[in-house]
Amino acid sequence: MNTFDKDTAVSKQAEGLYTASLPESWNVILGPNGGYLMAIVLRAMRDTVADDSRVPRSLTIHYLSVPGNESLEIRTTVERAGRSMTTVSVRFLQGERLIGIGTGAFAKPREGIVEFNDMPMPETPAAEALEPYHPFGQGHGPIFLKHYEFRRTMGDEAFSGGERALTGGWIRLSDHRRPDALSVAAITDCWPPAFFVRSKMPVPAPTIDLTVHFRTDIDALQLPDDAWVHARFETRYAHEGYIEEDAVIWAEDGTVLAHSRQLGLCEPLKR
């Protein structure tokens, strides 16, 4: 079993009840990374749906408190199972402390009345043609970054005081596990926040909520084990200590895999 699958594994204790371990290797400054937590929760929700033809379409998680590295309890409820869509709610806790809540939609493909794509992948060199990128310098930054490989293709360096909070590039898991819905959910929150480009100093940026819209059946694509995805992250508004960040994730051939939006904090360090 690869590292990502081992570290996002859930153990079913009863119907709608799961547990998971949270190793320290996925920590940011204030506990496990939010995208990593979403991948764990998504795994439990998919097991609850128990229908491979109903794939993730939308998932929103609200992070209520910072988890530690003790065991996580995940409680799922099927709110409704219709002819083609199942809606599942989730609560995850550590002891009596509620860590987060969420809702996901899992559905079969449908026949649309129109098809178009106004989110083309930016033209960029192949990942193999670019040098490895270490967002905070090699050996620095949150420990969870070691689980990914990065190649930057857009935006200025973090903390450079750039004019636009835009960043992104090629990403894959460092153990070269193939991209699927679980890993793409994690990837939407793995790149240093786009507003870091405009900031002059590092600050904690905890996620308040994260929504991912999965725009295709990623698992059905059967992408290669060593495949890269390309991601674009942008923040357009920072006010009263809050920032939003939008992301788009593409496969190497330009297929839109997912797009996401999160609300986060950008407060100065408390001393």
What mean pLDDT comes out for the span 134-151? 91
- How does 177-215 read in b/e, with b if 16+ C-beta sit within 10 Å? bbbbbbbbbbbbbbbbbbbbbbbeeeeebbbbbbbbbbb
270 falls within a domain: no
257 falls within a domain: yes
170 falls within a domain: yes
- How does 15-26 read in b/e, with b if 16+ C-beta sit within 10 Å? ebebebebeeeb
User: pLDDT value at position 141?
Assistant: 87
User: pLDDT value at position 271?
Assistant: 55
- CA–centroid distance for 60 within its chain: 11
d(CA 85, CA 88): 10
Read off the pLDDT band of 29 (50, 70, 90).
confident
| Domain residue limits at 57 | 3-108+125-265
Domain count, the chain: 1
* pLDDT tens readout for residues 219-240: 999 999 999 999 999 999 999 9
Mean pLDDT of the chain: 95
92 falls within a domain: yes
- Write the CATH number for 251: 2.40.160.210
42 falls within a domain: yes
Residue 139 pLDDT exceeds 80: no
19 falls within a domain: yes
* Phi and psi angles of residue 100, each rounded to the nearest 5 degrees, phi first: -165, 165
48 falls within a domain: yes
181 falls within a domain: yes
* pLDDT tens readout for residues 155-170: 999 899 999 999 999 9
